[in-house]
Structure 1
Amino acid sequence: MMLNTSPRPVPETTRTQAFVLWFDEVGIADIPLVGGKNASLGEMIQQLVPKGVNVPKGFATTAYAYRYFIAQAGLEEKLRQIFADLDVDDVTNLHQRGKQARSLILHTPFPKELEMAIATAYYRLCQLYGEDLSWCDRFPPDEREKMRECSYDTDVAVRSSATAEDLPDASFAGQQETYLNVHGVKHVLECCHKCFASIFTDRAISYRTSRGFDHFDVALSVGVQKMVRSDLASSGVR
């Protein structure tokens, strides 16, 4: 059975517990859900698309998805132990703690339900940009997903969007990772995982500590957006 190629609106009662929201489902008021960058992209789509401006489609993993991953894997306590003797004034200490935190996240698999939500959204994005893989439906169910996984290949940008970006008294922008020209669901999932881990870059750890932010009050959303050729168009927010 083919995936629905049109994003379905998420009921308001379930928005805060959705793993994925499409850019046209969010706006600037949704920074707590999808971070500053993704909320701005959603606002751009809502304001400009009705005026005839083309904005590349995409979706965002939510702050809930990040917190779900951390909670399901029991990572918060382990991360707190890593940071128990953190000293951001000691470069070696900061680097060691950051490396340990990122490694812990990267070596912890995504919950299957989160992985499937991201994969399904990427499949749908591929279909929105013209990839027709209905031929996969003739394969048995246990082979169908493998065929789709190997065949969907739309190129996307995978970008971090923290819930604490661009605050009136602090700017966290640019402290997490971005990956461009990402192809295929396997690599999209890998880059989403790397973005989650990048909430603990040395720079981000140091900045949050110096500004008095608890590391666990900030969540990480990931935006996945169709790439465009820079010589023909432009996209995104800086």
Structure 2
Amino acid sequence: MGHTRRVIPFTELGRGDVGRVGGKNASLGELTVQLAAVGVRVPPGFATTAEAYGELFDGHALRTRVQDQIDLLHDGVALEDVGAAIRSMIMAEPLPQELKDEIAAAYAAFARELGRSEPDVAVRSSATAEDLPQASFAGQRTSRPCPPPAPG
């Protein structure tokens, strides 16, 4: 089995990569490539792949453990409690060493490109199905409805 890249620079991404790196990252890649041709500079960066995320889940049996938590919703456990449990499980697991190494190498390349030893970064999540042509649910929260606005 060949090596799957876990980290990809924006310069190698485009709108066809939504399934691999999510909508925000694919769009940043598209902007980086398309706007550079007309002299507009987009800040550099890189994306971790859906495959890398899958490795974290598969390496720690998180898929089963997360599904067990989701199943608790059918037993009346509050969404907030299930979400907190799932976040705790994910945060408790170490990243696979290969992923850590690739992220560190990408950050080092990023730093060299900027000419800084420790550049500041913005970290964004980008679900692979967050913004689809037929639906967008970015930021959707369903645990409870928002209260109506106050009168006046």
- Tell me if both proteins adopt one fold, taking TM over 0.5 as the criterion: yes
| TM-score, structure 2 normalization | 0.86
Gaps of 5+ in 2: 144-152
Q: Distance in 1 between matches of 2:83 and 2:138?
A: 18
Q: What secondary structure does 2:64 align onto? A: helix
> What RMSD over aligned residues (CA atoms) do the two structures have, in Å?
2.0
2:106 equivalent in structure 1: 121
| TM-score, structure 1 normalization | 0.56
> Out of 102, 123, 129, which is 1:164 matched to?
129
Cα offset, 1:174, TM superposition: 3.4
Residues paired across the two proteins, number? 142
Gaps of 5+ in 1: 1-12, 132-151, 176-202, 208-238
Offset from partner CA, 1:47-71 (integer Å, 9 cap, x none) = 1101111111000000110011111
Q: Output the amino acid matched with 2:44.
A: K
Q: Percent identity?
A: 47
Q: What secondary structure does 1:110 align onto? A: coil
1:107 equivalent in structure 2: 92
Q: Distance in 2 between matches of 1:112 and 1:100?
A: 24
Q: Distance in 1 between matches of 2:62 and 2:51?
A: 15
Cα offset, 1:116, TM superposition: 1.0
8 A Cα contact 1:162 1:172, kept in partner: no
Offset from partner CA, 1:121-166 (integer Å, 9 cap, x none) = 11110111013xxxxxxxxxxxxxxxxxxxx410111111110122
8 A Cα contact 1:35 1:162, kept in partner: yes
Q: Distance in 1 between matches of 2:54 and 2:135?
A: 22
Q: What secondary structure does 1:159 align onto? A: coil
2:44 equivalent in structure 1: 57
| Equivalent residues in 2 for 1:29-178, closer than 5 Å | 29-87=16-74, 93-131=78-116, 152-174=117-139
